[in-house]
Structure 1
Amino acid sequence: MARSIEDPQNARSRRTREAVLAATRDILESDGFEALTMAAVASRAGISRQAVYLHFRTRTELVTALFGYMAEREGLSESLGSVRDAPDAVTALREWARHLAGYHPRLMAVDRAIDRVRHADADAARYRETIDARQMANCRMLAERLAGEARLADPWTVDTAADMLWSLVATDLFERLRARDWTTAAATEHLRVMFERTFVRPENPGRTR
């Protein structure tokens, strides 16, 4: 007969997996990527190394899974949903400003830990490449929508607009704004204004009243 409640063993396994990933994030934020070992993760999670290896055979697998864990915990899909579902390109660009200001500052500590060693550690480099590719895909989507709706301002092309939008998804940007005591609302509004005035062609620019 089918079980009507969740299998306790499966639930326990999921809790252990989440504890491992939470410990991984905590180590990166507090001690840096250099401190990330399977033994350190086990100690931080309060479990045995064997329990860690039951879920992740290598540190590479662990780091690879971290992106999905953080995305789920921080609501990446929901935050990007309003960008993808926006009725027009300009609204999508505004939602992108909101997404950046609200989502990315919460990941700054992990991003900084990754960036410090990305050129010397293959796992960090692979993680950074995954993030960069996803961010670039979103930026290109925005640029293509603007161009497709004839709202992409001169002299931008899809390629150059995507490149510039992607360059603005930078940890340094949000760290500096936070250091200047910018609120999320202020960052959202000023990013919106900058994006619109930089990338958006006004409607009917030659029309006079």
Structure 2
Amino acid sequence: MASPAADDYLKTIYHHTEWQDEQITPSQLAANLSLAPSSVTEMVQKLAAQGLVSHRLYGPIALTAAGERRAAAIIRRHRLIETWLVREFDYAWDEVHDEAEVLEHALSDRLLAGIDELLGHPVVDPHGDAIPDADGHVHRPAFVLLGDAEPGHRGRVLRVSDRDPQVLRAMQDAGLHIGVEVEVGAPGVVHVDGATRPVPTGAADAVWLTA
């Protein structure tokens, strides 16, 4: 079942456990996809019949090994395209998600391989998300959510969620780019290069630091 709709389900399930361990529930999946629970139930049953997800009635949903490979392949396409748009076409990091959503279903494997070669085989996208390799493998260093980091914690900005473009723009304006070294201060502030800066609204739950 290779279709944009099925791929969106697999990507959403993959994303949910990428930076935390709790499996996604049917209601969470429906909310993330902005779909009716009945529609989600029907598609999950189809994906389960294809061996792409495992699910028991009223329980959480998990990708099977085959489902994870398929999800990783689509996410690889999406994140390579985002990186390509930022590096080669000067897109801002808050502008690339919707474009990549369209292009990930349109580019051939040959063109995608050419983009990967052109970019020097990047391992993270503009938001710090790991780009799976051709075999679906990723490497993520140990991390901590900014909102969970204790005062005094020092680390690099590892990843910023691309779910809210407004948070991305606020991070950009605050100079909190991927790779920037920060020290967590009192609630709501971080220290960067000796300067104290407020944490943008919504960033505490959308920014990950190296542990």
Shared fold by TM > 0.5? no
Which has the higher Rg, Structure 1 or Structure 2?
1
Task: Give the number of the structure whose residues are more often strand, by fraction.
Answer: 2
* Greater RCO structure (CA 8 Å; 6+ sep): 1
Task: Give the number of the structure whose residues are more often helix, by fraction.
Answer: 1
Normalised by the length of structure 2, the TM-score is 0.31
